Amino acid sequence: SADYNGTWDIVSNDNFEGYMVALGIDFATRKIAGVLKPQKVIEQDGDCFIIKTYSTFRNYTCSFKIGEEYEEVTKGLDNRKCQTVVNWDNGRLVCVQRGEKKNRGWTHWIEEDKLHLELRCEKQVCKQVYKRS
Chain residues in the site for ligand RET (CB under 6 A)? 20, 25, 29, 33, 36, 38, 51, 53, 55, 57-58, 60, 62, 76-77, 106, 119
- Report residue 42: phi and psi, to 5°: -115, 125
Minimum distance of ligand RET from residue 41's CB (angstroms): 11
**51 vs 85, beta carbon nearer ligand RET:** 51
* Residue 23 or 112 having the CB closest to ligand RET: 23
Q: How far is the CB of 38 from ligand RET (least distance, A)?
A: 5
Q: Give the shortest CB-40-to-ligand RET separation in angstroms.
A: 7
Could you list the beta-strand ranges (E) of the chain: 6-14, 39-45, 48-54, 60-65, 70-73, 81-89, 92-98, 105-111, 114-121, 124-132
The length of the chain in residues reads 133
Span between the terminal Cα atoms of the chain, in Å: 21
